[in-house]
Amino acid sequence: MAHSFARVTIHIVFATKRRQNLIPENKLQELFAYIIGIARNIGIPLLAVGGMPNHVHILIGLPSTMTYADAISKIKANSSRFMKQTNRNFGWQQGYGAFAVSASQVDTVRYIRNQAEHHKRRSFEEEFVLLLKKAGIEYDPATIFE
């Protein structure tokens, strides 16, 4: 084949340290805009971003030249630096969730943009466990949120 073709869509979820509400409500949209800028600067198509004061969801089209771990690391590091400008105690938890989304299911993940409404029905912890279960990922309930 003369050309390479790839489309891998990843739903990424990561939380603030100890899932504390470290992102002020009035700072959420600014953080989302900053994350969009980070993605643009490193060549990642960002399809959706949303979150709550204690976590963020991002839907990206992963470039074939980058691993999802590198993409997440760059987004978390740069957004953390941005947030620390106004809250020196800000930080993301070390881990994250990364879930492949088939092209036919991308629209089902658009709830990312409306997290406040979405979380009226279930907590972040409940949602994250559900994502793990749907993806068939094993986890230890005792240590999942350390």
Q: What is the CATH number of the domain that holds 101?
A: 3.30.70.1290
Residue at 85 is within a domain: yes
Number of folded domains that form the chain = 1
Residue at 98 is within a domain: yes
Residue at 108 is within a domain: yes
As a whole-number percent, the residues of the chain with pLDDT over 90 amount to 76
| Region 51-75 average pLDDT | 95
Residue at 2 is within a domain: no
Residue at 71 is within a domain: yes
Helix%, strand%, coil% for the chain, nearest 5: 45, 20, 35
| Mean residue pLDDT across the chain | 92
Full residue range of the structural domain in which residue 47 is found: 8-135
Q: What does pTM read for this prediction?
A: 0.91
Task: List the structure tokens of 120.
Answer: 């009226």
